[in-house]
């Protein structure tokens, strides 16, 4: 299986950005870890980050067109208000697992709503960077199921 890990705005600042909330590991650390884990699990992980809504939408379309099997997506603050990203997810058959590093439900009120959750396969929030690994595991473990 080929999996895309997609990170949205401000996640290029991981490690520097509010480390009390998002931790001290960088995006590079995360991407390297996910690629490595993928190799161990016999999956190919490709990574992309952008601060731009349109670029994330293009990447979602491209994922579908190039036969990506699953997307692990942290849309950052777009989670809470981007109907364009929501529509892009709704318009592709490729399953998306939504990941948030922090527990958005115990933070500010505006973070309690996700407009992408209703069009996602599932959501993981509050488990730090481990959430991305668990999403990869979820795609791995359902491999057999989908091929039946
Ligand atoms: C986030 C939570 C969002 O509310 C925030 O805007 C982010 C990161 C998370 O991973 O916890 O940029 O998606």
Interface confidence, given as ipTM, is: 0.99
CB-defined site of ligand 1, < 6 Å: 10, 74, 76-77, 79, 100-102, 104, 111
Question: Under CATH, which number does the domain 2-147 receive?
Answer: 3.40.50.9100
Confidence (pLDDT) at 148: 47
pLDDT tens, residue by residue, 4-55: 999 999 999 999 999 999 999 999 999 999 999 999 999 999 999 999 999 9
pLDDT, the chain, mean:
96
Catalytic residues: 22, 100
72-83 confidence digits (pLDDT tens): 999 999 999 999
The predicted structure's pLDDT at residue 143? 78
Token pair 């699990």 is found at 41
Cα 43 to ligand 1 centre (Å):
26
Residue 146 has pLDDT above 80, yes or no: no
Percentage with pLDDT > 70 across the chain: 97
* Domain ranges (residues) in the chain: 2-147
In tens, the pLDDT along 82-128 reads 999 999 999 999 999 999 999 999 999 999 999 999 999 999 999 99
């Amino acid at each position: 299986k080929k999996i895309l890990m997609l990170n949205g705005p401000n996640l290029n600042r991981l490690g520097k950005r509010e480390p009390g909330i998002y931790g001290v590991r960088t995006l590079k650390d995360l991407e390297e870890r996910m690629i490595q884990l993928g190799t161990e699990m016999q999956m190919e992980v490709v990574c992309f980050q952008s601060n731009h809504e349109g670029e994330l939408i293009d990447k979602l379309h491209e994922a579908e067109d190039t036969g990506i099997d699953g997307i692990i997506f942290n849309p950052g603050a777009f989670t809470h208000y981007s109907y364009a990203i929501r529509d892009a997810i709704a318009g592709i058959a490729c399953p998306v697992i939504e990941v948030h590093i922090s527990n958005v439900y115990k933070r500010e009120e505006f973070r309690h709503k996700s407009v992408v959750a209703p069009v996602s396969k599932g959501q993981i929030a509050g488990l730090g960077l481990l959430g991305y690994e668990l999403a990869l595991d979820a795609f791995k473990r359902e491999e057999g199921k989908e091929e039946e």
